[in-house]
């Protein structure tokens, strides 16, 4: 699967085997780009905890009430629906 991530100033195309690997890669990338103190917090979260936090913060910022994802696939579907990601090749 080939995915393009486009969040804020991030424009990155990645190849992953499935949605679980995509979520894990997104969490790793977010931690790498986060300020020092937040990096440890992000790394300590499980992948689905990270996804839940991302959706929660996006909801607060955008005044939305999107449901918290219960799987990596739900998170990826959410990211595509919100235009944070595009699936280039399934």
What is residue 53's predicted lDDT score, i.e. its pLDDT? 96
What is residue 3's predicted lDDT score, i.e. its pLDDT? 95
4-50 per-position pLDDT tens digit: 998 877 788 999 999 999 999 999 989 999 999 999 999 999 999 99
Range of 46's domain? 2-89
Instruction: Report how far residue 49's alpha carbon sits from residue 3's, in angstroms, rounded to the nearest whole number.
Output: 21
Alpha carbon 5 to chain centroid, angstroms: 9
What is residue 90's predicted lDDT score, i.e. its pLDDT? 86
For residues 67-90, give the mean pLDDT: 95
What is residue 7's predicted lDDT score, i.e. its pLDDT? 83
Higher pLDDT, 59 or 8: 59
How many domains, the chain? 1
For residue 75, give the nearest of 33, 27, 14, 41 by alpha carbon.
Answer: 27
């Amino acid at each position: 699967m080939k995915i393009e991530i486009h969040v804020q100033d991030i424009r990155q195309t990645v190849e992953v085997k499935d949605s679980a690997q995509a979520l894990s890669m997104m969490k790793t990338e977010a931690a790498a780009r986060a300020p020092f103190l937040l990096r440890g917090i992000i790394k300590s979260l499980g992948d689905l905890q990270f996804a839940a936090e991302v959706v929660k913060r996006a909801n607060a910022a955008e005044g939305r009430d999107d449901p918290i994802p219960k799987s990596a696939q739900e998170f990826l579907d959410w990211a595509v629906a919100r235009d944070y990601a595009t699936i280039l090749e399934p």
